[in-house]
Chains A and B, each alone.
Chain A
Amino acid sequence: MEEQVKNKIIELIDVTKTYDDTVVIENVNLYVKKGEFITLLGPSGCGKTTTLRMIAGFEMPTSGKVLLNGRDISELPPNKRPVNTVFQRYALFPHLNVFENIAFGLKLKKVTNTYRNKNGDTYTKEEHLSKAEIAEKVKKALEIVDLEGFEKRSISTLSGGQQQRIAIARAIVNEPEILLLDEPLGALDLKMRKEMQLELKAMHKKLGITFIYVTHDQEEALTMSDTVVVMADGVIQQIGTPADIYNEPKNVFVADFIGESNIYNGMMPADRRVRFLGREFACVDEGFEKDEPVDVVVRPEDVQMVPPEKGMLQATVTSVVFKGIHYQILAEIGKAEIEIQSTQKKEVGDRIGIVIAPNEIHVMKKEFTVNRFDGTITKKNRVEFGDGEFDCDVTRLYPGSRLDEEGYLITAKGEKIDLTGVPVTVEVGLGDIRMSDDREEGGAEGNIISLIYKGDHYRYIVRTENEEDYVLASEDLWNENDHVSLIIPPEKIKLTLKKTEEK
């Protein structure tokens, strides 16, 4: 399908970027169509700015290619690319006034002019733009950003919003093929930001050039873009129109990051049937294996409240917050919590019935059902995996075996085996790992890099120093970036011998 897409202005092919040993961008494939407004969206540290900087030329990909109009520009320096950037903190030159800032690029630019000599032959000359041409272009750029007559002003006398506009003028005056915007509205207050969003959108229409926009603000991304690219942890999660991304999130991360969501663990007993919140619902998804565990997402505005007896589920209201257009209502169904957005007012303690229409239930394949690691048995019959070392029960590797006093394993047949250095596959369930803030207590330690609320518990991802990830479920609330040690009871560590080791 991708082959059919014409007029790709920028294309990233298998781009990976690592700093020292840390992978910031992993195997990114992305194309941008000419004239498109595309937004890279994700939490901080997801690699969106690095991706932008590789398109600008400030960073070179560690591997992979960046194509501009089909030509490889991976190694081209930024000053040779027909691309201009609006920086997060504007990066206006404080020693130059507004005119000189905007004219900076124009003064460096050389154009090829054609002349005719006495004999009537034509010849070309590389020339700088004339002063009058530059003044004219600067004037036009200032008109576009609504700051006519600001030429002589010094940068330090401008407000944040005005500096923002000058930064945009300085970039678009060079008539780039692509305008890159790195969280350009991040430093403005809310009202100003909303205004600038609409203005940027209008500017994009007027100029007709490609905009690549970076933000962590999902609302901004949905408002402005033709296409949204959701990134997390250096990997693209989903590419689509704002409506696609909102209505059909591909995984729980996207669902959680874009808008509000109720996320639950579920199971597919049959096609178009899904079980969650202790009940079976009709849904529109199919193609899962029987009883396959899935993630279920329901948007709060898609939950309908009815009298208790008419509901598919009964719930008790625990909190009501007025939000202007609607009420945000939290209700409890047994142990699980559900968020509802509705124009109906409810009181805390009200019994309500809940109805969810089949097409409002979004079922997605689970990314993580179990933690699987490559491990090795150590001298003390412990197991080393995932950047840590844990106690385990090695006798489970051979049914009916036992350990002798010296630590050798005696199999059921009486064979004596030294397990030291034996490679194994380790499996640990999501619910079998416990977190503690006592660093000594667990077998491995790391930082929480992601948490997602699933109605009655949280799903955490903990990353160790050497980038091993543990996925676990816990009812306790921890914070992102908390440093935790991971405890796994020996009986919950499932060991299997690696195939190659079996004769």
Chain B
Amino acid sequence: MVKNRQKIKNGISAVYLLLILLLIYAPILLLVVTSFSSARIIGEEGSFSLVWYAELFQSERVMGILVNTVVLALVAAALATLLGTAGAIGIFYSRKKVSTVMQGANQIPVVNAEIVTALSLAILFAAVGLQRTYFSLLVGHLVLCTPFVIISVLPKLKQMDNNLYEAALDLGASPTQALFKVVIPQIASGILSGFMLSVTLSLDDYIVTSFTKPATFDTISTYVYNAVKNESKSDLPLIRALSAIVFLVMIVLIVAAIVSSSEKKKEDRNKNA
């Protein structure tokens, strides 16, 4: 009797889980499936085909946009990591009052609506007479990413044994040497996760990008959005293929991240044993 009840309970929870997963993944799966259909418009009759993929990789325009997006993400993430790490170290070693104020100030852009950030950037650029160029776009992405780098590096600094820095000085290192030889290695994992976070933020950003980019420049997000909005029918099936690829890349990245972190945990456990 009890066993049966347990079985029913398990059954219900399994069904519930399945339902949730279906809700999350059905739209994406549908997109992936239709990307393999020769039909131009969803609902039209079509057969299995890789025609859109072929066309995608032949389209110089789309390939150019892809490169733009990735380069922008890497450059913005690298600069944001540099800025954010320096900022976090500065905040950590400031007097308590300064540090509290700075941490509070850093929280605001994180919780603020992105549209507000985007709009205020656009107004600022107009006010100082800055043309929409690649530079303004880069600045926009830096504003977007840097606070996230700070919030991923700061906890690592707080976890660090404060005597480590002093120990380095004590052993003859100058403050700069102590920073690079001891402090940075201690917070490396925070810096890396700040960088990765910045890459993903920049890769899929639409709002800030559309407010700060030059007119002729497109990233995947702005390209897809504009293509869908303007219903330039010729591009729509290509976008399905493009989105499917982006989805696949994301899955590969996430799985890689999970595998590497679980392996690292295992290693740590072995070390401690």
- Contacts from A to B (Cβ < 8 Å): 56-58, 77-79, 83-85, 87-89, 91-95, 104-105, 108-109, 154, 156-157, 170-171, 174
Chain A contacts for B177, CB-based, 8 A: 108
A58 to B171, CA, bound (A): 12
Question: Among the interface residues B166, B167, B169, which one has the most CB atoms of the partner chain A within 10 A?
Answer: B167
Q: Specify which chain B residues have a CB less than 8 angstroms from the CB of A93 in the assembled complex.
A: 164, 167-168, 182, 185
Are B271 and A79 neighbours in the complex by a CB distance under 8 Å? no
Contacts A78-B166, A171-B170, A174-B171 aside, 12 further interface pairs with beta carbons under 8 A come to: A77-B169, A79-B172, A79-B173, A85-B167, A87-B163, A87-B166, A93-B167, A93-B185, A94-B186, A95-B188, A104-B168, A104-B181
In the bound complex, how far is the Cα of B186 from the Cα of A105, in angstroms? 18
Say whether B172 contacts A174, CB under 8 Å: yes
Q: List 30 A-B contacts (CB under 8 A).
A: A56-B170, A57-B169, A58-B166, A58-B170, A77-B175, A78-B169, A84-B170, A84-B171, A85-B166, A85-B170, A87-B167, A89-B163, A91-B164, A91-B166, A92-B167, A93-B164, A93-B167, A93-B182, A93-B185, A94-B186, A95-B185, A95-B186, A95-B188, A104-B168, A104-B171, A105-B171, A108-B171, A156-B268, A156-B272, A174-B172
B168 with A154: CB separation less than 8 A: no
Q: What residues on B are CB-neighbors of A85 within 8 Å? A: 166-167, 170
Chain A proximity of B159: nearest CB distance (Å): 11
Tell me whether A79 and B174 are in contact (CB under 8 A). yes
In Å, the complex CA distance between A83 and B166 comes to: 13
- A residues near B168, Cβ cutoff 8 Å: 93, 104
Which secondary structure dominates chain A's binding surface? mixed
Complex: chain B residue closest to A77, CB-CB: B169
Q: Size of chain B's interface in residues, with CB distance under 8 A?
A: 22
- Contacts A87-B163, A93-B164 given; indicate if A79 touches B169 (C-beta within 8 A): yes
| Residues of the A chain whose Cβ atoms lie less than 8 Å from the Cβ of B172 | 79, 105, 108-109, 174
How many residue-residue contacts, CB under 8 A, span A and B?
Answer: 66
Write out the residue numbers on chain B whose beta carbons fall within 8 Å of the beta carbon of A95. 185-186, 188
B161 within 8 A of A: yes
CA distance A57 to B171 in the complex (A): 12
Whole-angstrom distance between the alpha carbons of A174 and B185 in the complex? 23
* Complex alpha-carbon distance, A397 and B136, angstroms: 79
| Nearest CB on B from A104, distance (A) | 5
Considering the complex, which residues of chain B in the window 233-270 have a beta carbon less than 8 Å from any beta carbon of chain A?
268
| Contacting residues, chain A, for B186 (C-beta < 8 A) | 94-95
Residues 156-200 of B, flagged 1 when their CB comes within 8 A of A and 0 if not, give 000001011011111111110100011001101000000000000
Known: A94-B186, A108-B177, A154-B271. A78 touches B170 (CB 8 A): yes
| Assembled-state Cα–Cα distance A83/B172 (Å) | 9
With a cutoff of 8 Å between Cβ atoms, the chain A residues found around residue B163 in the complex are 87-89, 91
- B271–A91 CB distance below 8 A: no
Tell me the bound Cα distance from A117 to B44 in angstroms: 89
Contacts of A58 in B (CB 8 A): 166, 169-170
Interfacial chain A residues near B182, Cβ < 8 Å = 93
What CA separation (Å) do A83 and B163 show in the bound complex?
A: 16
Residues from chain B with Cβ under 8 Å of A154 in the complex: 271
A170 to chain B, nearest CB (A): 7
Contact in complex: B173, A108 (CB < 8 Å):
yes
Smallest CB–CB gap between A107 and chain B, Å?
Answer: 9
CB distance from B51 to the nearest CB of A (A): 52
Measured CA separation A92–B177 after assembly (Å): 16
Candidates B167, B175, B185, B188; contact of A91 at CB < 8 Å:
B167
CA distance A423 to B215 in the complex (A): 79
Determine the chain A residues whose CB is within 8 A of the CB of B175 once the complex forms: 77
**What residues of B have a CB within 8 angstroms of the CB of A174 in the complex?**
171-172
Nearest-Cβ distance from residue B181 to partner chain A, whole angstroms: 8
Considering residues A83, A95, A157, A170, which has the most beta carbons from chain B within 10 angstroms of its beta carbon? Answer: A95
Chain A's closest residue to B188 (CB) is A95
Contacts of B169 in A (CB 8 A): 57-58, 77-79
Distance in angstroms from A22 CB to nearest chain B CB is 15
- 8 A-B pairs with the lowest CB-CB distances in the bound complex, closest first: A105-B171, A91-B163, A91-B167, A78-B169, A95-B185, A108-B172, A87-B163, A85-B170
**A95 to B168 Cα, complex, angstroms:** 13
- Interchain CB contact under 8 A, B185 and A79: no
